[in-house]
Structure 1
C-alpha cells in the first residue's frame, strides 16, 4: 500500500510540473526525424505545455524540418529576418514570457548549443528552473555544458537512447526515413546551385550533391529521392538528366545552371 501511495504521489507531482520545449532549428538541424523521441523525452519530465520551434522560412532545409515537427503538434514560429540572431531573440523573449506567466513551468528543454543563450540560462536557473540542453555535435560551446552540468546536457542524436526506444519505435526500414520526394529534391538542387554561385564556385555535380546533403538531413544521395513510382535514380547524373528534361535546370558539361539565369 505504501508503494502504491508513493507511486501516486510521483505521478501527481509529475502532472503538476510543466515542461517547455524551445528549439532553434538553425542551430540543431539534426533534430529532423527525432521529433517523436523529443516529445517522449519531454513527457518523462512532466506535462508538456510549450512546444515552440523557431525557423527561417527563407531556408528550405529549415522549412522541411518545420513541416515534419508541425505534424507532431509543435508550434512553429517563423522568424524570416536575415539577422543571424533574430531567432535567438524571439526564442529568448517567448521563453521568458512563458516562465513569467506560468509558475508551474519547472523544466525548460532548450535545443541550441549557442553561447548566446547563456543569459537566458542564468535567468532560468536563478528562478529555480531545471534547464536541459540538446545541441548538435560540432556546434556547441563548452562553457554552455559547464553552465547546465553534464547530467543536463545531451547531443540531439542521443535522443533515441535517452528514451530507451531506439529499437522499438524506429521504423525497421531506415530507407523510408531518409527519403525526400522528387519535388523536394529539385528545391534543394536549386538552392544548392544558388549557394555555389554566391560562393563563386563551380556548380559541378560533386559540389552540388554535397551542398544538398548539408541542407537536408534526409537527402543521402540520389537513392534517397522518392520518384513516386517505386523506382530510384541509379546515379546523381540520372537525377540531373530528369531535372533538365523537366526544364528545372540546365547543364553544360559537368556544370549546372538555373533556368531563369
Structure 2
C-alpha cells in the first residue's frame, strides 16, 4: 500500500527584489527549493529592467514574471513589490531581499496567516528580519537547502485518488488558475491538478466509491458538475459557493 502524502500542497509565491539581490545563478535553486514546499503559484522578480537585459532573458526562460518598475521616485521597486505581495493569496511567501521595508510586509503577511521565508545577502541583510520571518536564510545557503530537501523527498505516491479528494484538488486548481488570472479551461485545470497532487508524475486514476474509475478527466468533471461542485461553461470551469468549497 502506498504511503499517504499530504492531501493538498501549499501554494507558494516568490517575490524577488532583483535590485537588492541581482544574481541569476540562484534562480534554479530557488525554484527547486520553492517547489519542495508546494506548488509555485507566482514567481515575480522586480527591477528597472534595461532593454535587452540578459538577466531578464534568463529569468524569463524560467517562467519568472519580470516586473519592470520605472524609477519615477525613490524606492519604486520596493513599493511595487510590497503592493503586489500584500494582496497575495498563497500559503507561503518567499521574499528575496534584505531591505528594511520587509519588516512591515512580513508583519502583515504573518498576520494574515501566511508563512514567510526570507533570503538575503549575508553582508547587507537587516538582521531584524531573522527574528520576524518564519525562516531566514542567506542566498548562499540555497544549494545546501536544495540538496537536503532532495535527500528527504519521498518517492512514494498514491497510485489512485478517491472522488472526494479529487474534488478538493479540482477546487484548489480552479482557485489557483483564477489567482494567476488564467482561463480555467479543462486542459489547464487538469495540468494544475496533476501538479498539485504529485508535482511530477500526475494523478494516475480517480476512483468513485464503488471502486470504478473515471475513464478520463472530462468524465470526472461531468460528475462534479452533476453533483453541484463546479459549474461548466463550454470548456471552462467555475466554482460554486467558493467560500464553502475552497480548502
Determine if the alignment matches structure 1 residue 28 to structure 2 residue 18.
Answer: no
Q: Where does residue 122 of structure 1 map in the other structure?
A: 107
Q: For 1:128 and 1:33, how far apart are their aligned partners in 2?
A: 31
1:212: which partner in 2?
Answer: none
**Distance in 2 between residues matched to 1:146 and 1:112, nearest whole Å:** 15
C-alpha displacement of 1:72: 0.5
Q: When the two structures are superposed, what TM-score results if normalisation uses the length of structure 2?
A: 0.56
What residue number does 1:154 align with?
137
Matches within 5 A, 1:109-258: 109-149=94-134, 152-164=135-147
C-alpha distance in 1, partners of 2:15/2:125? 16
Deviation at 1:58, TM superposition (A): 4.5
1:38 corresponds to 2:30: yes
2:65 paired residue number: 75
The 3-state SS of whatever aligns with 2:37 is: coil
Separation (CA, whole Å) in 2 of partners of 1:164 and 1:83: 41
Report how far residue 89 of structure 1 moved.
0.8
Aligned residues: 149
- The change in CA–CA distance for 1:137 and 1:65 in structure 2 (over 3 A counts) is farther
Greater radius of gyration (CA):
1
CA distance in 2, matches of 1:154, 1:36: 16
**Does the aligned pair in 2 maintain the 1:58–1:80 contact within 8 Å?**
no
Structure 1 gap ranges (5+):
100-104, 166-261
1:98 aligns with one of 67, 81, 88: 88
Q: Distance in 1 between matches of 2:65 and 2:144?
A: 25
Deviations 1:121-143 (A, max 9, x none): 10110111000000012110011
CA distance in 2, matches of 1:26, 1:47: 26
Shift of 1:96: 1.8
Of 41, 48, 61, the residue aligned with 1:56 is 48
Give 5+ residue unaligned stretches, structure 2: 149-247
Which structure has greater helix proportion?
A: 1
C-alpha distance in 1, partners of 2:49/2:13? 23
State the SS of the aligned residue for 1:153: strand
Task: Provide Cα deviations, 1:206-240, integer angstroms capped at 9, x if missing partner.
Answer: xxxxxxxxxxxxxxxxxxxxxxxxxxxxxxxxxxx
Determine helix, strand or coil for the equivalent of 1:142.
coil
Q: Greater RCO between the two (CA within 8 Å, min separation 6)?
A: 2
Q: What is the root-mean-square deviation in Å for CA atoms of aligned residues?
A: 2.1
